[in-house]
Chain A
Amino acid sequence: MYNGFIFEGEAYRHRELLELVEDLGGSILNVRIIAQEATITFIIPEEDTPTLRKLVLELRARLREIPLVGSEIAVVSPTITRHHLPHPACDIAEYLRRMGAKTNIIGLARGVGQRVAQITRREKTLIEEHDAAVFLLGNFDYCLLEHKWKLYKDLRIPVIVAGGPKLDHVPYASAYISGIGRIPYRTRFLSEIRKLDELAKAVGKCLDGRREMIAADPLITSPFILKSEIEKQIEEVKTCYSPAPIVPQLDGVRVKLRYDKFASIIKKIRVGNYILEDVAEVRRSMMKNYILIKLYPKSYVRLKELELINSQWNHKGGISA
């Protein structure tokens, strides 16, 4: 398991931190040096945190934990009209971003109402490309308990529902956070920010559950390693206009390059001892024709290798040949 941090300190000895992260087997996600200030986003193995703390104390720098690092989260609102946007959706998306996640706000086409609320297959596929989804719903408990669950019932990722009324839980959701429904103001007071904190914790808990599931049958390589390999081997990533050209997810990465042009190149890159297309599914993303890469678990890759060996053996005619 990895822990994500943001380092904020003097630039003159920041190389020591970079070296330590590399030595510990971590990964550096972002380095920004502005004047004498260095801001470095990185991940390191969980058990090496004390070593890191010692160095940070020595450098007299600040360390900020980002528990949602390496995840992509969908913030879903019933529509994109001013009834539901901007206040709650943007506040939640920004808060999760500060916690290290990459968030995308998605407005459904027909998510409003009781009987008429619906979600299309395309929207479902788009939301399922993320690691978790936060649904921002309304203020009436009758709607939340009786009708709105049909929007997220069939989703295969953890769903956190934010709504107005005080309820223990809503059907089919992994978690429910009350007090953030349809509100006409920005969240500024402490009590409101605590609600956002609660929401971020719920998201973190859901992601931890998924991380544990993945750890039971680990991926063939870490998404962070895959990210740095793509950056090294594909030049066009550097000239991409998106602020985050490669977004790490829990079980893969999203590459913001055109699928038709770059998919065949990305499939052939080397990751460790493998070619990427042998160890991952490279498919077209529902978001803007981007490339979505989902890594296979180790056991599946091993199984595929065995099948390959068997077929070659059979092709040669087995022992008799």
Chain B
Amino acid sequence: MSEKIFVESLDETCQHDFGILIYKIIAEYILSDLVIGQAIQQMRVLIDIKKPLFAVSVQLSLPRQPIRMKDYARLEEGTDGIHIIIHDETYAPELLKVLWNSFGKNNVAQIDRWETVIPRNLTTINELQNVIVADPREKMMEKILDAITRIIPEAFRIEHLLPEASGLTIITSENPIQEEWIEIVKATLAQPPKPIPPEMFEEIKREPKKTEEIYKPWKKPINDLMHDV
């Protein structure tokens, strides 16, 4: 799998500092925690800690279209009204919310977990077919914004948003953001990302290392103690 997360320093003097390296690990952990790896095409984190400036740019890949009634439920016309029958409950709360908003709670009768009935005089099957039940992109977008706020250090509360067609860039700082900083970020983002060489991660890599000794940190003094007697 190609690399998705790039962390770069805007300061020439500290290109591969510990902070820069560990933020790549933090971003990887957060994306895997929130399970949004698939929704992101590329994430670039730009850091200049001396200004201080922290920018996160995300290129999104949100493939799924909004879910309409015809994709999600089976519609049947009965004597008592239009029956909406579903087979899985993933979007059941959203479906109910849409029906309640459109026809009122009094007119929506739930027969069981899978079946709901609405009176025939309120709407037709053809109209119902195209109603949007849920938009998974909205949920995914919430998660992506959550991930960005988790990655950005807590003190960086002043934000400047640069919306784009295929994603978004958030520039943050604890001081007022200056125009030139925005220009610097835009210029850097126009360049292709510079990946950190993998050998830089050797020291902070989390890998179990082979060891001969049986290490019991808080028990070690006892063994010494017993040998002394």
| Residues of A bordering B, CB below 8 Å | 49-50, 53-54, 57, 62-65, 67, 78-79, 81-84, 98-99, 112-117, 138-143, 164-166, 181-185, 189-194, 196-197
Contacts and interface: CB of A to CB of B under 8 A. Distances in A.
Interface in B189-229: 206-209, 211, 215, 217-219, 221-222, 225-226, 228-229
B215 A140 contact: no
B26 A116 contact: no
Interface of B: 14, 17-19, 22-23, 25-26, 29-30, 33, 49-50, 52, 150, 153-156, 174-175, 206-209, 211, 215, 217-219, 221-222, 225-226, 228-229
Chain A interface helix/strand/loop/mixed: loop
A30 to B, nearest CB: 17
Contacts of A194: 215, 217
Contacts, number: 103
19 contacts: A50-B229, A53-B226, A63-B222, A64-B218, A65-B221, A113-B155, A114-B52, A114-B174, A138-B19, A139-B19, A139-B23, A140-B18, A142-B50, A184-B29, A189-B206, A193-B215, A194-B215, A194-B217, A197-B217
Contacts of A142: 14, 49-50
A67 B208 CA distance: 28
B22 A139 contact: yes
Nearest to B32: A184
B228 A116 contact: no
A80 to B, nearest CB: 11
B155 A182 contact: no
B18 A164 contact: yes
B22 A112 contact: no
A191 B205 CA distance: 11
A64 B225 CA distance: 9
